[in-house]
Amino acid sequence: MPKTDVLIAGSGSAGIFAATWLSIYNIPFTILERRPGPLKIGQADGVQVRTVEIYESFGLAEDVLREAYHILEVCFWGVDDDDESNRDTGKETVQKSGIKRKSRSMDTQRGLSHLPHVILNQARMNGLMLGKMERILKEKGNNRSGIEYGWTVQGTEIDEGLKGDVGEYAVKVKAEKEGKEEVWEAKYVLACDGAHSTIRHSLSIPMLGDTTDTIWGVMDIYPLTTFPDIRRKCTLHTPSGNLLIIPREGGNLVRFYIQLPAGSVAKTVTLSNLQDTARRIFAPYQMEFADVYWWSAYSIGQRLAERFEKDMRVFLTGDACHTHSPKAGQGMNVSLQDGYNIGWKLGSILSGLSPPSLLTTYVEERSKTAKDLIDFDKEFSRLFSKKEEWEGQFAEYFVKSGRFTAGLGARYADGEIVSQRGSSEDLAKGISVGMRLPSAQVIRFCDCKAVQLQGVLRSDGRWRVVVFGGDAKESGDGERLGKLAALLEQMTLRFTPPTSDVDSIIEPILVLHSKFVDVEQEDIPDYFWPVSGKWGIRDLHKTYIDDSHYNAGHGHAYEGYGVDTSVGALVIVRPDQYVSKVTSLDDVEGVKSFFEGCLIKQR
């Protein structure tokens, strides 16, 4: 009977992201995937700016940005009210003679992120992360982990006598491949097996919400058309139906999402049905199809799992615990962030760095995010399907919801690893505790390179203590910084294994507000350029300056973060880039107390 620390059912976005975290922590895992190999044709394609930020944290953003279609604008189309033939006849559906562009908007609000909203198919997105995972496993010599293709998971059960001991393999998962049955034993199981999750069914966890499904048709096509905005993201609202245009990567490929009439049955929908509906919606513009790369019809209900875990040993992620419509491009993005959230927590627990209670934060944080998603999707769907006075209301709601649709709306509540009540948020008014750290341009001191501060926070399992230390050349600031560094180093060592580098668990990041040319390396305390690595070389990549760059201008980081240069601030950032705490530079005891709640003392 094979054993593994974490068994993951499904190699979709959530499963791959969780597995990548586990590979970083060098934790044994097995993914059981029913397909015969990696995903070849993507189902989802919208990549939110938050997702691009996450890919950047794994060193993969350049690949995504190079290959993807960049969405910069959205246009809202509807019936041409000036065309007299578009009159109300009292009938349910009227074949209109004209449509026109009613309004347009930037796709992502200015200042939300330094990275764009893009389109790249899910197969490629998953492939990039899968490649990252496999490279990490190879670097660490981890041959105990990987993906097993062709296995159909049949169910899971938890051993009541073992579940109280986190070191025990308390969960059994049964799976079948080519007539052969096998049972795996695991310490933890992640259900990443989709909307019809076998794991969820075997645990008798119901999905709550809509009892009827909305039917959607989707086509990836090469269009022959006179429609002028075919290479822009568009919504079209007409008496013949509603349609969403998503331009795809490659220059010519376009995806249509078509909401089908009530009473439609997904299994009976044909490609001709979808094409005919699209022609009617686009009339009087020509719409023909040079080729159809892929198409499907499917039902989607807005549903939420009654619970996201069982005995804190089995956890639901992605579509296994929340389903919704495809209109706002949330699915793949929210699912992968489920895996991104739980993966590092499992890695930290199984590495002996954090207590098992850390997993309660996955349930608290992602169930709230999923509920917010369902609530948003209901309103978004209501407006998208509305028959009258649609374009203006929908466009207004789209703009207002910009932060949410960009994937930046999640704010985690107070708990074991979020301390809003224990924070002094007025010290950094531009940083919200419980939300991801926004970015700002700073200058890396060691080589004068202009970088985004968020991009410095790589997904490598480390916590960060970001110190806004003021001006290192000012005698008062410099003295304060030296005392702070000594106390932080003493605190950090308590949670660092004796054989590990001082920055391996908690990494210090220093952001100064000084004239770049006035600062010398000896002005910076040793804690912010520690000896590390197998060669014992000092790491000079932890100090940044908020100043005007030779070529890139001034990032105004202190101003953007709302930090007073004479007061400074200290920000604790989680391994997933979310802000845990904002406090003063003299509150080392508060920092120590926070880490005592989520990290285990190592010495």
* Cα–Cα distance for residue pair 111/445, rounded to 1 Å: 24
* Cα–Cα distance for residue pair 427/334, rounded to 1 Å: 31
**CATH topology match: 3-61+118-210+302-384 vs 73-106+213-300:** no
pLDDT-derived band of residue 96, with 50, 70 and 90 as boundaries? Answer: very low
Say which residues have a Cβ less than 8 Å from residue 286's Cβ, sequence separation at least 6: 224, 225, 226, 227
Q: Please report the pLDDT score of residue 282 as a whole number.
A: 96
33 Rama sector, left if φ>0, alpha if ψ -120 to 50, beta otherwise: beta
Of 318, 430, 437, residue with least CA distance to 369:
318
**If one looks up domain 3-61+118-210+302-384 in CATH, what number appears?**
3.50.50.60
Q: Give the helix/strand (H/E) hosting 282.
A: helix 271-282
Check whether 93 has a pLDDT greater than 70: no
pLDDT-derived band of residue 389, with 50, 70 and 90 as boundaries? Answer: low
* Cα–Cα distance for residue pair 243/74, rounded to 1 Å: 13
- Give how far Cα 136 sits from Cα of 26, 133, 293, 340, Å: 9, 5, 34, 16
464 belongs to the catalytic site: no
* Cα–Cα distance for residue pair 186/317, rounded to 1 Å: 17
CATH superfamily, region 425-596: Phenol hydroxylase, C-terminal dimerisation domain (3.40.30.20)
CATH superfamily, region 73-106+213-300: D-Amino Acid Oxidase, subunit A, domain 2 (3.30.9.10)
* Cα–Cα distance for residue pair 278/267, rounded to 1 Å: 19
* Cα–Cα distance for residue pair 270/436, rounded to 1 Å: 43
The pair of structure tokens assigned to 164 is 């109280």
Of 466, 406, 413, 203, residue with least CA distance to 313:
203
530 belongs to the catalytic site: no
280 belongs to the catalytic site: no
Q: Which of 116, 326, 530, 575 is catalytic?
A: 326
The pair of structure tokens assigned to 357 is 């209670």
Render pLDDT for 22-59 as a digit per residue (tens, 0 to 9): 999 999 999 999 999 998 876 678 899 999 999 999 99
Q: Which of 257, 527, 558, 578 is catalytic?
A: 257
Render pLDDT for 218-241 as a digit per residue (tens, 0 to 9): 999 999 999 999 999 999 998 888
Write phi, then psi, for 485 (nearest 5 degrees).
Answer: -60, -40
Per-domain boundaries in the chain: 3-61+118-210+302-384, 73-106+213-300, 425-596
- Give how far Cα 265 sits from Cα of 212, 214, 215, 257, 570, Å: 11, 9, 7, 16, 56
Check whether 86 has a pLDDT greater than 70: no
45 belongs to the catalytic site: yes
